[in-house]
Amino acid sequence: MKREYKPGCPYGTHRVLKPQGVLPQAAWRIDNSPEIRDNEILIDVEALNIDAASFKEILSGCNPEMDEAAKEQYVASVVMDIVERRGKMHNPATGSGGMLLGRIREFGPKVYGKEGARVGDRICTLVSLSLTPLKIDKIKKVHLDKDQIDVEGTAVLFETGPFAVIPPDLGEKLSLAVLDVAGAPVQTVRLVKAGDSVLVLGAGGKSGLMCVAVAKEKAGPAGRVIGLAHSDTSRKRLERLGAADVVLSGDARDAIATMEKVTAANGGKKVDITINCVNIPGTEMASILCTKDGGKVYFFSMATSFTAAALGAEGVGADVELIIGNGYARGHAKQALELVRRNARLREIFEGQFQGN
């Protein structure tokens, strides 16, 4: 007997349990049941790529004396608790989620064959876990060094939710990591022009490395790309990439010290564009103070307080354009994957970081 599918809202409001009247991302709790509507896609979930700010916040709750196994168990328990309470992986402390890797199990009739996909295809979702109905049956492995978690469970993608089929030439975990931050490099392409001076904060992380690579392509030989990394590990990744004209080490929470380092590295001038990819709070003012009047600051990091940025800029009389990071742009998945394909060093770094078990 043919199954009857209930109609659904394109934006998923039929899944909202509380409070009523909001969209799924703003909701405290949503319905994560695997029975789909006519405009939904059911996914068998294999891995979660937790947003970097969220993963770092969860890890901060670990006792420093815990060994790696205990930390993995702690992270798993926190993630399970959030999903059980909220019906989605929406960290209440950071407000962010991440994305997932899985296999299509079922299409609702209104979205059958969307993006040319078929039942059984492996996909990465390109919408946040903070709005994705998610049910976790089992956590198999927590990868502390990758912000990734192997799971068994189900998720639901709404009619308006974009996704990408895993390309055959790139590994699944690599694709998941790259597509998680695909919005950052495409926005960098839009912002940077030839001859610009560009600062990337958090330049040694995956979004930062991609932004540095793109910024160098766009700024060209007449431009200058400055990357600031915090840890030795991230600084070494940035140096290995070889795309930054200047590599700096420092804590972006120290706004004055960061400004002094950056202006010294840029011939005594502030930069045209700052891209913030830092995964911890408190770096808004460094971004603003390093940017010249009339310049642009792009906050990709979900650890950003936009209140602090707006009021902070006002407080120091900084006439800069503040841009909120949008994880979606048309064609962003394709552009991000192409960047990794054409940049051999970037691909090598990411393969070493994400391809292993």
Domain boundaries, the chain: 13-166, 183-354
Name the packing angle between helices 206-219 and 332-342 (round to 10°). 80
Residue 1: per-residue pLDDT: 56
Examine the pLDDT at 312 and tell me if it is beyond 70: yes
Phi, psi (deg, nearest 5) at residue 288: -70, -45
* Higher pLDDT pick, 338 / 354: 338
Quick one: tokens of 344?
């051999």
Label residue 245 by pLDDT band (50, 70, 90): very high
Examine the pLDDT at 355 and tell me if it is beyond 80: no
Residue 158: per-residue pLDDT: 96
Q: CA 249, CA 238: separation in Å to the nearest integer?
A: 10
Residue 357: per-residue pLDDT: 53
- Tell me: the pLDDT tens digits for 25-50? 999 999 999 999 999 999 999 999 99
Looking at the chain, the whole-number percentage of residues with pLDDT higher than 90 is 88
Cβ neighbours, 10 Å, residue 66 = 12
The class that CATH gives domain 183-354 is: alpha beta
Task: Give the predicted TM-score (pTM) of the model.
Answer: 0.84
Query: 7-21, 123-137, 326-340: lowest mean pLDDT where?
Result: 326-340
Residue 256: per-residue pLDDT: 98
Taking Cα atoms as reference points, which of 36, 315, 350, 334 lies closest to residue 163? 334
Chain-wide mean pLDDT for the chain? 95
Query: 188-197, 226-235, 320-329: lowest mean pLDDT where?
Result: 320-329
For residues 320-356, b (16+ Cβ closer than 10 Å) or e, as one string? bebbebebebeebbeebbebbeebeebbebbeebbee
- Tell me: the pLDDT tens digits for 123-142? 999 999 999 999 999 999 99
- Tell me: the pLDDT tens digits for 44-85? 999 999 998 899 999 999 998 999 999 999 999 999 999 999
Examine the pLDDT at 354 and tell me if it is beyond 90: no
Examine the pLDDT at 180 and tell me if it is beyond 90: no
